[in-house]
Structure 1
Amino acid sequence: MTGRLQRVLALTGLTVVLLIVALWLSGGLSGVERWAAVQQRAAQNLMAGALRAMRAGQPGAVASLLWLCFGYGVFHAVGPGHGKLVIGSYGFGLRVPVLRLAALSVAASLAQAATAVALVWTGIAALNLGRETLTDLGERAMLQLSTLLVAGVGLWLALRGLRMLRAQTHHDTCGCGHAHGPTPAQVAQSGSLRDGLLVVAGIAARPCTGALFLLIPTWRMEIFGMGILGAFAMGLGTAFVTVAVAGLAVWARRGSLALLPPDGPLGSTARWLPGVMQLATGALIAIVSLMVLV
């Protein structure tokens, strides 16, 4: 693949993402969100029927339930949510390999399912909480916790962006040949397991409402194991969408970096772009999260 073709493909990714963002900001995706909400409600009704069929011993009821849960997860992820914002911003702001970002997307979605399982099991078995209390806990208190964690992810990204810009400033102005701190490239590559865990925790702190809808009745029906399987099937459905978001984010990042050449009159501007991207995406996450809290 030639360098020119690579540049065209990268710029295409940026164009696609900018178009999606423009549609979202202008309300052009509201129809898709309404459609996804209708499909979620339909899937919930079908899941209730599948649970009744499973209790009656009807053949194929288990497979039907798991497929419905997977579909619910897909429809849930298509609607608005902070998981896509975090994964997309993380992949756009940092130089993260696409496979690693995809793995983080899957881990975060499955961790959401695990949070729902832990909440229902602890809430009913240990605390004897009712359905309304559990649902309220998941949709309010844990939503606030998740939003705070996501805001922390945004602030952390913004701080890294500032570090990159400071490192670039020193790299451009010092010229003494000595290393007084991390280079811009080192800062950009300083992702770690801790970073990934912070992203996963921010997304997973709020359990999926659909998983609570499934887990609570399966506990009462004494088929909690099927509820757990269904919750993780929902997580895989959600991951199906967030992995696509991860790919688009990495694609858009490459397109942004392809806008400016590495050398020539605009070369210095190109060296500043990664830090600016990381600072901007981190600030966006933090501002949106704080607005949700307020």
Structure 2
Amino acid sequence: MNRALALTGLIVAVILAALWMSGGLVGVERWATEQQRTAQNLMAGALRALRAGEPGAVASLLGLCFAYGVAHAVGPGHGKVVIGSYGFGSSVPMMRLAGLSLAASLAQAGTAIVLVAGGIAILDLGRETLTDLSEGAMVRLSTAMVAAVGLWLGWRGLRMLRAEARAHRHDHHHHDGCGCGHAHGPTPAQVAQTRSLRDGLLVVGSIALRPCTGALFLLILTWRMGIFGIGMAGTVAMGLGTALVTVAVAGLAVWARRGSLSLVPRTGPMAQAARWLPGTMQLGAGALIAAVSLAVLLR
């Protein structure tokens, strides 16, 4: 039963990835963009109601911000690619990946707050300049960092495969063990466990560097209205809405990973192939992230 459940995750992930690659999700992305536009208009209305002192306006605004965050995350975006590929390629536990997804979404909200507060208060930038900065230089920087995540994952996958090849040769030459009692380089399992702070910082940083335009819109408006604190709260609500989707993607990635690993038999001649699978998956995931982000940078 567990194997069937794990395989279901892999099938769902493969179907979604194929639809995304072939442009089959364009309708969903268009719908998400329309929902964002609608939510943005409603947010402007809620801000007017707030200024007029209408009861319930703050709760209404925060609810709209959360909905905007969900719609924003459903649309096209690099956050899902990073979290999904990292979760599929690395042996990262589900709860840690969910934590990274939440941290990345909240850090993205934090970037928007710092950008607007710093840009207006310190540099006296206008709305157009701030938006151009966010959509231009910061997008390129974020995409370059996403490419770095991909290259790092791919390099680590290669290291795992090399370590496996060394271990395989060693096993072949020394069936009884070498007798020296020393470890001959890291085992694939040890390399797979290298889920360091560096991983987390790269994943969170690559997503956080690209603030959401809806958050900038809200923050600039609330700054001008003298209610920046409410704008900050709304931006955090957006981050939580985004996290709802990225945590779901994280869950699917880990589920699909388990499905892939369950395909390889534990015994028999094919059991040896299981040793090569983690490194291959990590290399493949890294190559996908790097290819997608480099294509965006070169466009």
> TM-score normalised by the shorter chain: which range applies?
over 0.9
Q: Render the CA deviation track for 1:204-228: whole Å, top value 9, x for unaligned.
A: 0111111001000110111000000
Segments of 5+ residues of structure 2 without an aligned counterpart are none
> Over aligned residue pairs, what C-alpha RMSD do you find?
0.8
1:272 deviation in Å? 0.4
> Which residue matches 1:273?
277
> Which residue matches 2:2?
6
1:263 deviation in Å? 2.6
Matched, 1:56 2:55: no
TM-score, normalised via structure 1 length: 0.97
Letter aligned with residue 229 of structure 2: G
> Which residue matches 2:296?
292
Matched, 1:74 2:50: no
Most deviating of 257-266 and 272-281: 257-266
Which of 261, 267, 271 does residue 257 from structure 1 map onto?
Answer: 261
Matches within 5 A, 1:1-294: 5-175=1-171, 176=174, 177=177, 178-294=182-298
Work out the CA distance in 2 between the residues paired with 1:93 and 1:124: 41
- The answer to whether the 8 A contact 1:54-1:61 is kept is yes
Work out the CA distance in 1 between the residues paired with 2:288 and 2:68: 28
Letter aligned with residue 159 of structure 2: R
Q: Render the CA deviation track for 1:253-287: whole Å, top value 9, x for unaligned.
A: 00000111123111111110110000011011111
1:27 deviation in Å? 2.0
Letter aligned with residue 53 of structure 2: G
TM-score, normalised via structure 2 length: 0.96
Work out the CA distance in 2 between the residues paired with 1:173 and 1:72: 54
Letter aligned with residue 57 of structure 2: A
- How many aligned residue pairs are there? 290
- The answer to whether the 8 A contact 1:70-1:233 is kept is yes
1:52 deviation in Å? 0.5
Letter aligned with residue 18 of structure 1: V
- The answer to whether the 8 A contact 1:262-1:271 is kept is no
Q: Per the alignment, in what secondary structure is the counterpart of residue 53 of structure 2? A: coil
Q: Per the alignment, in what secondary structure is the counterpart of residue 274 of structure 1? A: helix
Most deviating of 94-103 and 178-187: 178-187
Letter aligned with residue 125 of structure 1: A
Structure 1 residue runs of 4+, over 6 Å off? none
Q: Per the alignment, in what secondary structure is the counterpart of residue 20 of structure 1? A: helix
Q: Render the CA deviation track for 1:91-145: whole Å, top value 9, x for unaligned.
A: 0000111011001000000000000000001100000000000000011110011
State, as a whole percentage, how many aligned pairs show the same letter: 73
Letter aligned with residue 115 of structure 1: T
Letter aligned with residue 165 of structure 2: T
Work out the CA distance in 2 between the residues paired with 1:159 and 1:235: 31
- The answer to whether the 8 A contact 1:10-1:254 is kept is yes
Work out the CA distance in 1 between the residues paired with 2:211 and 2:19: 28
